[in-house]
Amino acid sequence: MKIPETYAEFEDSLQTSKPAANWPESLKALWFMAKGDWEASHDIAQDLHTTMGSLIHAHLHRVEGDDWNAKYWYRKAGRTHTDIPFEEELRKLIEEALQGTS
């Protein structure tokens, strides 16, 4: 499966049982989060020592309800804590990750 270029293609990929092995790790973490698999997403994100990895980690801890930990990861990414709906933040992260894959 090719790396999605648009959010619509990413959404279509959610019909599969797993993300493709050739995808960037950040996109895989977001895919698992979009599928509702917090643990699999976190397992990947905790090993991503990048700005996107920190943003995904922040989002995950925000969803978990651990605002202290989320704020730490937002700061590490150079961003501030947000209170936008989880789904909106996830979409923005996916779109940002997709821009970085072209």
Domain ranges in the chain?
A: 7-12+25-99
Do 44 and 19 touch, CB atoms closer than 8 A?
no
Indicate the average pLDDT of the chain: 94
Residue 101 pLDDT more than 70? no
Distance CA 62, CA 13 (A): 25
Over the stretch 7-45, which tens digit does the pLDDT of each residue have? 999 999 999 999 999 999 999 999 999 999 999 999 999
CATH 1.10.10 holds for 7-12+25-99: no
Do 45 and 57 touch, CB atoms closer than 8 A?
yes
Q: Which pTM was predicted? A: 0.94
CA angle 13, 55, 90 (to 5 degrees): 40
